[in-house]
Amino acid sequence: NCHAVGPGARHGFGPQLNGLLGRKAGSLPGYAYSPAMKASGLVWTETTLTAFLRDPNAVVPGTKMRYWGLGIDEQKVAGLLAYFAQAER
């Protein structure tokens, strides 16, 4: 897996995602983010994360994330957002 969430989550191919909502994109120490992500100025909210999940390269051109997006499948996007919100507790 590219990302980890939960107790003991660590960076892997992608950064760990604990505390994602409300965090500035590209800001966790110890992970080598792309220059594009570090300079994006994004803060991860439901709105910015939804847009990124649908089309990462449109939201952060030059991101090194190799993910083609969830398209317009609203159920998948809603499920992932609910998962992150629950993981924040």
Q: Residue 89: is its pLDDT beyond 60?
A: no
Q: For the chain, what is the domain count?
A: 1
pTM (predicted TM-score): 0.80
Give the pLDDT band (50/70/90) at residue 71: low
Q: Which three-class secondary structure state does DSSP give residue 24? A: strand
Residue 63 neighbours by CB under 8 Å, 6+ apart: 34, 36, 37, 56, 57
Q: Residue 70: is its pLDDT beyond 80?
A: no
Let me know if residue 6 belongs to a domain. Answer: no
Let me know if residue 72 belongs to a domain. Answer: yes
Let me know if residue 78 belongs to a domain. Answer: yes
Residue 16 is predicted with a pLDDT of 84
CATH of the domain at 70: 1.10.760.10
Separation between Cα atoms, residue 33 and residue 44, nearest integer Å: 15
Structural domain containing residue 63: 35-87
pLDDT in tens, 21-61: 899 999 999 999 999 999 999 999 999 998 888 888 899 99
Q: In this predicted model, which residue has the larger pLDDT, 84 or 79?
A: 79
